[in-house]
Amino acid sequence: MIAGIDLFCGVGGLTHGLQQAGIDVKLGIDVDPACKFPYRSNNKAQFIHRDVIQLSGTDIRRVWGDAKITLLAGCAPCQPFSTYSRASRKSRPNQKWDLVRAFARLVGESQPDLVTMENVSQLVRHKVFQEFLEGLSGYHIWYSVVDCSEYGVPQTRKRLVLMASKLGPISLAKQRLSKPVTVGQVIRRLPALNAGDVDGFDPIHHACHLSPLNLKRIQASKPGGSWRDWPEELLANCHRKASGETYPSVYGRMEWDSLAPTITTQCFGYGNGRFGHPEQDRAITLREAAMLQTFPRSYKFLPKDEKVIFYILGRLIGNAVPVKLAKSIGCEFIKHVKAHST
């Protein structure tokens, strides 16, 4: 079996998918204490609250123990694009890429058999990514910006995926889906809510309040539409300017039979993108966002009776690796190892 460690593990999207594929992820590490409960409650792995920059290759190898095949995985947050570790950024100003470099250093020090990194697509254009590739001397390397909808994720989400192996050439094959999974297939059966309501059985199936003006706006919005559908009196000042034409998806509704937009850290807010529910007059809930990130409906994000803080859970859900993408990566590694062990 492959023994894995998930750096920058967040709430466990990457770990959950890898474990579904059959990989023994032993440990997740993250600097954000809010990740501890969801990670440990949903995954058969330990969690360490620690800054990855403080780790050494010896720490990593100690966790793997005598495993025959080892995997170092993670989504190294890029600080120019991420809200990861605000406190750490204040203490390390002008070090934009130190988390990616920490990942590369740990690969070099621990020498896993397998490596995978999921990240924002913009990273591929930056020098630090080339440095990361140069640090993978002795590995067979594959990377690409992938369309997550091709792996069963119901979003227009594109992400950089890197896979590397000491065993032989590797790549992430496209799944042969007959058609993409849609918004309706994923969230249509959840209980209906009004803006501001919460499901009595699921505290994160919780819709943000809407102001009276925004309630009128969403009532005037069509599925797949935007603020351009509104009557003149509902338009915001920014929409009346020529610059407003560059934001056609703001205040949009999703469509049942289409993909969702990329789920972001602010996806619970109606005015933050095309995050309006397809037919209910509200933005999507945190549970709906998590399910569109392909977390199981039963995935636990908060201890019982703990208050929902939208911006914290929105950040954790929006930054997560989609579970189905992670499972596809894990299945590819399993197949790869079997092919090179005969």
Question: In which element (H, E) is residue 6 found?
Answer: strand 2-7
φ, ψ of residue 107 to 5 degrees: the values are -60, -45
The pLDDT, as a whole number, for residue 279 is 96
pLDDT at 90 over 50: no
The catalytic residue positions are 78
The pLDDT, as a whole number, for residue 302 is 96
102 Cβ contact list (under 8 Å, min separation 6): 52, 53, 55, 76
Residues 76-82 have a mean pLDDT of 63
Share of the chain above pLDDT 70, in %: 91
86 — pLDDT class (breaks 50, 70, 90)? very low
89 — pLDDT class (breaks 50, 70, 90)? very low
Q: pLDDT tens across 116-138, in order?
A: 999 999 999 999 999 999 999 99
Residues 76-103 have a mean pLDDT of 62
Give the residue with greater pLDDT, 247 vs 81: 247
Longest dimension (CA), the chain: 70
Mind listing the domains of the chain with CATH numbers?
A: 2-176+322-339 (3.40.50.150), 183-318 (3.90.120.10)
Whole-angstrom Cα distance, residue 35 to residue 31? 8
Whole-angstrom Cα distance, residue 252 to residue 248? 8
User: What is the pTM assigned to this prediction?
Assistant: 0.92
Whole-angstrom Cα distance, residue 30 to residue 36? 8
Per DSSP, which regions of 57-182 are E strands?
69-74, 114-120, 140-147, 158-165
Per DSSP, which regions of 105-207 are E strands?
114-120, 140-147, 158-165, 198-199, 202-206
286 — pLDDT class (breaks 50, 70, 90)? very high
Question: In which element (H, E) is residue 108 found?
Answer: helix 98-110
The pLDDT, as a whole number, for residue 124 is 93
Q: pLDDT tens across 53-64, in order?
A: 999 999 999 999
341 — pLDDT class (breaks 50, 70, 90)? confident
Judging by DSSP bridges, how do beta strands 69-74 and 114-120 pair with one another?
parallel
